[in-house]
Structure 1
Amino acid sequence: MRFAYSPLNIAILTALASQTYANESQISEEIKTNTVSMTPIEVEVKAKQEVGKTVYTKEDLEKTPNSSKNITDFLKVNPNVQFSREQRSADSQAELRPSEISINGAQSYRNKFVINGVNTTNNLDPLASGNSYSGKLDGGSQGIALNTDLICKLELIDSNVSAAYGEFTGGVVNAETCAPNTEIGQVHGSVTYDYTESDWNRYHVKTDADKALFEGDSTQSNQKEYTRQGISANVYSKLSEVYGINLYASQRSSELPVYSGLPSPDIIKQKKLNTNIGATLFANTNSDTSIKLGFSLGDLENNSYAEKRRNSYSTTNNESALIFAEIAKVYQWGKLNQKLNYQNIDNSRVNEADIGINWLYAAGSKDWNNTEKVWEAASSADIDLKQSTVNYEIDSVFNTFKLAGTQHQISTGFAYHYDDVQWERTKDFSTFYGVTSGNAKNLYDLEGGQCQINDPLCDENTTAPFINNKVPTVFQGQYFKKGSLYRAGEFNKKYQQASIYVEDDIRWNNIRARLGLRADYDESNNHLNFAPRTNISYKPFSNDTLTLVSGWNRYYSAPTYMTDLRQSLSDLNFEVTRADQNSQWIESESSGSQDTRKKNLKTPYADEFVIGLSSEFKNAYFALKWVNRQYKDEISRNKTSIPHNGFNFSYEYGNSGYGENDTVTFELETLEPLEFLGTQHNLGLAVNYTDSYRSTPDYTENLTEEDLYKLISYDGKIMHFGDKPASNYNQPITARFTWDIGFNAVPVKISNFFSYKDTYKQVLTASSADKVIHDGVKIDTYTLQDVKPRFSWDMRTTYDWKISKDYSAILGLTINNITNRNNLYVSGSKLYSEIGRQFIADITFKF
């Protein structure tokens, strides 16, 4: 595809090129003169490095190539974060939903996301996806898809996590919006606009799967034509000595001209939107008291159509709202911090129709698609999932005291958490599927008869020939005698959670130990869980030249509420039948084999052992860390031999899942920029080795207890099925290298991000004829296919154009995969290509 030279792109490239001809002395003088003319947002000073925790500043967020402008995509820079192998897929570049991530081998929905001190994790049904009439709805683990343009501080805690945090088995991601630090009465801020489109991309059509995907028309599953853009704004001011305020908003959008597969309209403009709005009020009533009040609203909207399916329009909205209040006060004995917040996550889907029908092709009526079967109306029911939460937290940090030659600082905290969760099918939904696997099961021959007037489930036109039970057949008209009815209904439950923790930060000579204990009560599973936390460090030289770190910790996960609600859905399922086209419909309860009940579940947990070392020597920081995680009592969907609803089997949620992960991480970076011929250079290297296995991927998998322990042949080795390596989020070796360049004479910055992912082995299941014989018995065999290494060089460059004393513009250009390398990944059993070279232009106006 050609590169589209839009006016915006030409302007940015011209501005970047112009710095070559700039008068260096004049620019330098302007920089000196205007350095303090604009007071920026208050940004955290670069935090001191700590094994297990990484803090990113506003500058880090702005300079890193991040075309998606969301938190998890930015975290590609962190070596402890694993992404799905499909993260950079060429066919999904119009998506606005944040990528799912795994931290130290945890399931992707077991991380904790916190925004301005409020837990925004989606615990309802984070794995639900696709179009479903049975009750599923696209979710995702993040309750709010916050734009990184609105963030001033981002913190990732991946290991040795304090007892102050609970409800996770992966990691904790803390995001904070900005706080004002301006002259009293002055208003400052910034507005950012970014743009890209499919013509600014390069696509590789190399494999057979690529050709099948990209040689056809643009569809929802093949987003080869799109326009993506976004705008965001931050306004901040210190109103007085006491009060300050920060206002922020953003909206990102993607538009896709999707081919419908229908005669009219042949192209449908699909749109995706992600909107964030918020405000925070800061008050320092005196030197000992600070107050923070605020709110944040979000809406991730997706409009979609089912290809070649008439009247199939639907809209999905993931709406979120949070209101928070925080007060911190210093007393003679220490510091007391209290938080009270409310959060609401509302995921809903609305369809154009309340019925889904599968007809046989009939010229003159059922002929909008030239295939044996034609589809009509909705492919999913109207669903509404809500999670409303009220949370109160109180934390105390006591003054340090000495005891027997040691220094102690004790922290304690209590939290109360109230959840009101709800699932609702907002209106009745019916499905009538006529031909399944070549058999007309619910659809019948009208035999030249007549339909009742306005009967939407009867058609008098002769069908095209089709295969019915291996016999060529033609219907003289067609009508339905049987279908499924999913009644409107609502289920909701209320849960309470409470936690308490105590932690002692102990210092003795060169040793520092943080010893803590956390207790969590989870009403969903009716369990009281105790989680010990330890973090011990030793500095043999009494400084940062060498620090040895170790820790043993236990983390309990948050509840997944859909395991409670799912067992109630079958009460709304019915079957509708009629004797012929002239008879009345009769309803009867439907017995489904997919019903899932919940037995007494344990709370999933992870045991962690950490050992590592770090060093600051001259201008370099070095760290080496090994994290071992044992995952136990993971929730699984198990197939049992217990009869139910006329079936000789049934399903129930249990704690059959388990897993283990080893992560070794090496990091090396400069502490201060390296000066070279009028330029400054910051360098960073991170290498990661991961070995992970998981018995069951998640709570949607159908397995029996016996399945986990049956023997298989895996890459020539005999092992239990549950002990095979994880199929995703398990890239064995990765390397990341960052190189940031600044110039003394010109206001240009260049940030490079190099990513290398080593060869990995994709699991393939052998055919039944290739099964291995072990102890006289044939066992399932899994062979491995090597996927070549993946390398990507992403770059972001900016030019700071000083317009006047109080105004400036930053022109930016991001180029992903500069070398246009054809990186391959496996989805299912097929090889696909990642996106090739990609351009994103942006401009920021500061005042």
Structure 2
Amino acid sequence: MRILLLTSVGAVAVLTASGSVLAQTAPSPSAGEIPTVVIEGEGQAARNYRMGDAQDSGTSTFKRDSVEARAPGSGDVNEILKALPTVQFTSTQGRATRAELQDLRPENISISGGSIYENLFVLDGVGVNSRLDVSGTNLAAFDDVGNGSAQTVWMDASLIGEVAVRDSNISAEYGQFTGGVVQIATRAPSRTYGGEVYYGQTSTEMASFRVSDRARAALSVLPAKPDYDKRRYGFSVDLPVSERLRMLAAYNRSEARVTNYPSTNYVALGNLSQRSVSDNFLLKGEYDLASDLLLTGQVNYSPYESEFHPINSRDNLLESHGGGLTAKLGLEGRRGLANWTLDLTHAWSDNDRDGPAGTIQIPTTATGFENCSLGASCVLGSVGPLTQQQSDTGLKGRWEQQWGTGQLRAGFDYAHIEGQKRRDETVYAYLGGVAGLNTACAKDEGMSCIPGVYAAARRNGYAAFDAKASIDNFGLWAEYNFDWAGFMIRTGARYDYESFLGNHNIAPRLSVSRDLPWAGINLTVGANRYYGRSFLGYALREGAGVTRGYMRTPAVVNGQRVWSDNWTLTNHTDTSRWSNIGLDTPYSDEFTIAVNGPVAWLGGEYRIKGIIRESRDQFASSAAETSFYDTETGTTARRTTRTITNDGERSYEGLSLEYVRDFGRNHTLSFSTNLSHTDATNISYFDMADETEFEGELVYYQGKVVPKLQALADNQLEDYANPFIINADWAARWFDGRLRTNVNARWRDSFTRVADTLVNITVDGVRYDVFDKVEFDSSVDVNLSATIDLVKTQYGSALLDLRVNNLFNTVLDQDYTSGSQPYQLGRNVWLSLKYRY
């Protein structure tokens, strides 16, 4: 939609959804006449994405109109990347567990076979990549916060101006990744006044739920369906303060609420409501210092909060935090034939947890807690607060100009990164309670001793700690683009040094393209090396894991059992040891070949791309080693030690085909497919490499006992690695653009995987796990969006927005993992209202 606003001075400007402005002339209204507002339809259907030029054969760019047309009702920008054949999503997407329904974080993605932790995310020029341990999912762990994200800060789709994804043949400008690069840019402030406000909602009543055949066969009775509701709302205002100064202010909020059901022993407490909230506060400005010098600045604050009630205790609300803050001050200028940029950036991310500090186990015979449990001891409290934060302050610059017969580009970047993990006070778990009316307490102990009720006889202490680590990173890069005898060559290199690992890394990059004799066809070949980045998670584990066990006995005085603070240390467990000494920086070597050009007779353009990646020196855990040491109690105890290694490996081979075609102004189609194979020895940094983990382990496979490694030898990566996918997309305008629709689909082929059948067998007196080939069916996910202009007046326009996910109500996940939460999200609807001026 375009809004033509005739001002009282006769100036006419076109304010588009992307904030761009086109000046025009028109007759001035008569004195005192109210300005007229004319609403026009969108200029043309929103193309899915635009392919990069020949030397950037691995680049795909989504413009603002594409993001608006295809982003789901949740506002997760990562979801639109399903259109790309080299971007993989989890195969478990679609599960309707309470945790999944409540989660508002962006989807994790794998690009060109890389780990979900090893992509480079850049938000408005600011790196938003976690260096902490975000692999854990246990929200009730004493020493870990299980609600982190590889992408530390994210933005709502309504504020996005452009998303660029680089999956291969990547410029030397980008470093510290072994997956891909995702550049997200919020929209620029407009030169005319404007605004938008919206509200959207979905809920259980607007959704259906499905169960896979495997789950239905395993369950005799299906549990109750999930109960949830979500809403998303916000506003943005464009403020052109003067001809030189433009401002954008925006706020967005997403909320999710689910019902959590206590375990059998705690049903008397009733159902519990849990909420997640994601906010975006954005203030952005541009100031023209001169005709060839632009000053930009912005602050984005995006906190995330998520509640969790463990189902097997009470008084246990945990609140996990995420998100954070980014800020940037930048200069963009020209000097003669040269263009340059200089940016000062800062990013801070928060992965804290708040909750009751400690747990208490109350025996069944204690009085006054009848509503807590039925026939079992009662647990009160939770694992307590834990702090985990990361800050990243950086300076980077870029210079590009004509030099000789080609284009020279060069730049630098510096960043100082700090990570911290801390527990301020020792947290105790009290257990082994003794109940009785003759219970007396020598002093007020709170819940660990209640006169006439009970007292705890044992406790475990999880020690306070404060672990810190920091990194100084230096990067230099340069590349030269030139024409040599009809070959367009981009050659360059990147140098990186990180103080944490202490390695000097040089990554060469080369791209060669050539127009072939056939009209419009171009062939590009690339050979590149990419280095990853340091990881602070294991360094921050050094302080965690110190536990102490204590016992006490009461003194009997006049028939009373008097409990005092006479705890005696009985056992001692030291922290696990992690070390990064002597580690190499993970790297990935890539060879890529791409062919692109127009399609004869049919029209449109295509891109065929082959990518081979070999990633080595990936971080993995060693096997546990046991040593003995003298404890504070004068006894000998066992210590578990692990070290981080470079034993991890990944391999990726992918062949993709993409096609995009516009049909006039009203329709655009796109199609892509990818055939790939991905191998990985480990998923998380804290996983052991397969060769270490499965060494010597035997299983029963196809009628005989074999090494587990042999049984799994033919498997590719289990998740984020669907071997064959097909994507299709159709965007259209109807009724002169007053109705805009988009239908997109992703089909995943069936595949066979060797897996544990959960059956055991005894052979010659030895029990083995039975492994066999398990068939997983194909699935298709079709989504529909429709936006219609309801009201168009001189004061703006109102729009109705409908997003239907999983349009055909299919089962997306063929696996079965939970008897209590077997449901998947079938067809579900988001309904939104928007007002634009």
TM-score category (smaller protein): 0.7 to 0.9
Moved more, 645-654 or 727-736: 645-654
1:284 pairs with one of 282, 288, 313: 288
Spell out, residue by residue over 1:50-82, the C-alpha distance to the aligned partner (whole angstroms, 9 max, x if none). Answer: 421110011111111513211222222222111
Letter in 2 for 1:147: D
* Cα distance in 2 for residues equivalent to 1:146 and 1:331: 34
* Cα distance in 1 for residues equivalent to 2:332 and 2:221: 56
Is the partner of 2:815 in helix, strand or coil? strand
* Cα distance in 2 for residues equivalent to 1:644 and 1:552: 50
Report if aligned partners of 1:772, 1:780 keep a CA contact under 8 Å in 2: no
**Change in CA separation of 1:846 and 1:541 when aligned onto 2, cut-off 3 Å:** farther
1:806 Cα deviation (Å)?
Answer: 4.7
Residues 529-540 of structure 1 aligned to structure 2 (within 5 Å) = 529-540=505-516
**Change in CA separation of 1:190 and 1:714 when aligned onto 2, cut-off 3 Å:** farther
Aligned to 2:828: 838
1:768 Cα deviation (Å)?
Answer: 8.4
* Cα distance in 2 for residues equivalent to 1:526 and 1:120: 22
Aligned to 2:44: none
Whether 1:698 aligns to 2:684 is yes
Aligned to 1:520: 496
Moved more, 306-315 or 755-764: 755-764
Spell out, residue by residue over 1:375-409, the C-alpha distance to the aligned partner (whole angstroms, 9 max, x if none). Answer: 4233323111111111001111122422xxxxx21
Report if aligned partners of 1:395, 1:413 keep a CA contact under 8 Å in 2: yes
**Change in CA separation of 1:506 and 1:314 when aligned onto 2, cut-off 3 Å:** same
Structure 1: state its 5+ residue gaps.
1-26, 219-223, 403-407, 435-442, 462-476
1:528 Cα deviation (Å)?
Answer: 1.1
Residues 5-20 of structure 1 aligned to structure 2 (within 5 Å) = none
* Cα distance in 2 for residues equivalent to 1:37 and 1:243: 19
Is the partner of 1:647 in helix, strand or coil? strand
1:566 pairs with one of 524, 530, 541: 541
**Change in CA separation of 1:832 and 1:735 when aligned onto 2, cut-off 3 Å:** farther
Spell out, residue by residue over 1:449-507, the C-alpha distance to the aligned partner (whole angstroms, 9 max, x if none). Answer: 6342655335799xxxxxxxxxxxxxxx9754332212333222232110111111122
Whether 1:189 aligns to 2:200 is no
Spell out, residue by residue over 1:768-823, the C-alpha distance to the aligned partner (whole angstroms, 9 max, x if none). Answer: 865999xxx99976322111111122110111235224511221111112222233
Report if aligned partners of 1:396, 1:411 keep a CA contact under 8 Å in 2: yes
Moved more, 683-692 or 133-142: 133-142
Report if aligned partners of 1:824, 1:833 keep a CA contact under 8 Å in 2: no
Report if aligned partners of 1:296, 1:321 keep a CA contact under 8 Å in 2: yes
Aligned to 2:18: 41
Whether 1:811 aligns to 2:792 is no
**Change in CA separation of 1:694 and 1:604 when aligned onto 2, cut-off 3 Å:** same
Report the TM-score, using the length of structure 2 for normalisation.
Answer: 0.85
* Cα distance in 1 for residues equivalent to 2:362 and 2:659: 62
1:213 Cα deviation (Å)?
Answer: 12
1:617 Cα deviation (Å)?
Answer: 3.2
Report if aligned partners of 1:367, 1:374 keep a CA contact under 8 Å in 2: no
Aligned to 2:585: 603
Whether 1:623 aligns to 2:607 is yes
Report if aligned partners of 1:43, 1:58 keep a CA contact under 8 Å in 2: no
* Cα distance in 1 for residues equivalent to 2:2 and 2:393: 53
Is the partner of 1:59 in helix, strand or coil? helix
Count residues in correspondence.
773
1:684 pairs with one of 659, 662, 670: 670
Letter in 2 for 1:558: R
Aligned to 2:563: 582
* Cα distance in 2 for residues equivalent to 1:687 and 1:391: 38
Spell out, residue by residue over 1:407-441, the C-alpha distance to the aligned partner (whole angstroms, 9 max, x if none). Answer: x2111111111112111113321123x5xxxxxxx
Residues 324-473 of structure 1 aligned to structure 2 (within 5 Å) = 324-332=328-336, 334-351=338-355, 353-362=356-365, 364-402=367-405, 408-432=406-430, 434=431, 443=432, 450-452=439-441, 454=444, 456-457=447-448
C-alpha RMSD of the superposition: 3.4
Letter in 1 for 2:64: K
1:829 Cα deviation (Å)?
Answer: 8.6
Residues 27-176 of structure 1 aligned to structure 2 (within 5 Å) = 38-42=15-19, 47=50, 49-50=52-53, 51-91=57-97, 92-130=100-138, 131-176=140-185
Moved more, 120-129 or 192-201: 120-129
* Cα distance in 1 for residues equivalent to 2:438 and 2:214: 48
* Cα distance in 2 for residues equivalent to 1:504 and 1:715: 55
Aligned to 1:820: 809
Report if aligned partners of 2:522, 2:595 keep a CA contact under 8 Å in 1: yes
1:575 Cα deviation (Å)?
Answer: 2.8
Report the TM-score, using the length of structure 1 for normalisation.
Answer: 0.84
* Cα distance in 2 for residues equivalent to 1:553 and 1:778: 48
* Cα distance in 2 for residues equivalent to 1:390 and 1:595: 29
**Change in CA separation of 1:56 and 1:712 when aligned onto 2, cut-off 3 Å:** farther
Aligned to 2:247: 245
* Cα distance in 1 for residues equivalent to 2:210 and 2:464: 46
1:654 pairs with one of 642, 645, 648: 645
Identity, % of aligned positions: 19
* Cα distance in 2 for residues equivalent to 1:35 and 1:332: 33
* Cα distance in 2 for residues equivalent to 1:326 and 1:744: 43
* Cα distance in 1 for residues equivalent to 2:628 and 2:479: 49
1:106 Cα deviation (Å)?
Answer: 1.2
1:330 Cα deviation (Å)?
Answer: 1.1
Report if aligned partners of 1:37, 1:805 keep a CA contact under 8 Å in 2: no
**Change in CA separation of 1:587 and 1:72 when aligned onto 2, cut-off 3 Å:** farther
Letter in 1 for 2:532: S
Spell out, residue by residue over 1:78-107, the C-alpha distance to the aligned partner (whole angstroms, 9 max, x if none). Answer: 221111112211222332111211111111
1:198 Cα deviation (Å)?
Answer: 1.1
Moved more, 731-740 or 449-458: 449-458
Moved more, 762-771 or 249-258: 762-771
Report if aligned partners of 1:137, 1:349 keep a CA contact under 8 Å in 2: no
Moved more, 711-720 or 129-138: 711-720
1:28 Cα deviation (Å)?
Answer: 13
**Change in CA separation of 1:428 and 1:814 when aligned onto 2, cut-off 3 Å:** same
* Cα distance in 1 for residues equivalent to 2:529 and 2:398: 21
1:833 Cα deviation (Å)?
Answer: 5.0
Moved more, 658-667 or 125-134: 125-134
1:282 Cα deviation (Å)?
Answer: 0.6
1:332 Cα deviation (Å)?
Answer: 2.4
Letter in 1 for 2:785: R
* Cα distance in 2 for residues equivalent to 1:647 and 1:156: 49
Residues 202-213 of structure 1 aligned to structure 2 (within 5 Å) = 202-205=208-211, 207=213, 209=215
Letter in 2 for 1:836: G
* Cα distance in 2 for residues equivalent to 1:794 and 1:74: 11
Whether 1:273 aligns to 2:299 is no
Letter in 1 for 2:253: Q
* Cα distance in 2 for residues equivalent to 1:338 and 1:29: 35
1:229 pairs with one of 231, 246, 258: 231
1:216 Cα deviation (Å)?
Answer: 3.8
Is the partner of 1:129 in helix, strand or coil? coil
Aligned to 2:475: 499
Spell out, residue by residue over 1:289-327, the C-alpha distance to the aligned partner (whole angstroms, 9 max, x if none). Answer: 112111100011112212241110121121411110111
**Change in CA separation of 1:593 and 1:187 when aligned onto 2, cut-off 3 Å:** closer
1:260 Cα deviation (Å)?
Answer: 4.4
1:649 Cα deviation (Å)?
Answer: 5.1
Structure 2: state its 5+ residue gaps.
22-46, 555-561, 630-636
Is the partner of 2:542 in helix, strand or coil? helix
Whether 1:554 aligns to 2:535 is no
1:738 Cα deviation (Å)?
Answer: 0.5
* Cα distance in 2 for residues equivalent to 1:77 and 1:257: 33
1:42 Cα deviation (Å)?
Answer: 3.5
